């Protein structure tokens, strides 16, 4: 199993550009989530999904969209990038929500918005 994969590893955007961060898992996990990691602030939940067709907002959802058309994929879309969205983004998955099962994190996407 590849586990949780994320692409790209690194991206530079100009303010106002849009892009999609890809996340895929091959463990047949129902629960997937996106976090951003900023210095001194830990990881903050952006959006999550408890299964295909179901998504919900986390702690910091503004400026981001998600969709879950398949169990495997959970892309994160930046509609109009802003410098405040410069961060490291992590996707995670688990077979159940909450504390029922271990969360597995991807390697991250480092995003720089100029």
Q: Which residues make up the interface to other proteins (CB under 8 A)?
A: 4, 31, 33, 35, 40-45, 48, 50, 56, 58-59, 90, 92, 97-100, 102-103, 105-108
Q: What is the nearest approach in angstroms of other proteins to the Cβ of residue 98?
A: 5
Q: Closest separation between CB of residue 70 and other proteins, Å?
A: 19
- Report the residue number, 2 or 98, with the smaller CB distance to other proteins: 98
- 91 prior amide bond cis, ω within 30: no
Q: Which residue pairs, CB below 8 angstroms and at least 24 apart, start in 43-52? A: 43/90, 46/76, 46/89, 47/76, 48/97, 49/74, 50/97
State which residue, 17 or 58, has the beta carbon closest to other proteins: 58
CA–CA distance from 88 to each of 3, 35, 41, 53 (Å)?
A: 19, 8, 12, 26
| Cβ 17 to other proteins shortest distance, Å | 25
């Amino acid at each position: 199993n590849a586990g949780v994969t994320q692409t790209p590893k690194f991206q530079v955007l100009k303010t106002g550009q849009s892009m999609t961060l890809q996340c895929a898992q091959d463990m047949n996990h129902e629960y997937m989530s996106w976090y951003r990691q900023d210095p001194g602030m830990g990881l903050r939940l952006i959006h999550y999904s408890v299964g295909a067709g179901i998504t919900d907002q986390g702690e910091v959802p503004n400026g981001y969209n998600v969709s879950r058309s398949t169990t495997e994929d959970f892309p994160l879309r930046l509609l109009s990038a802003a410098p405040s969205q410069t961060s490291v983004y992590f996707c995670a998955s688990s077979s159940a929500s909450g504390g029922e099962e271990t969360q597995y994190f991807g390697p991250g996407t480092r995003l720089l918005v100029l």
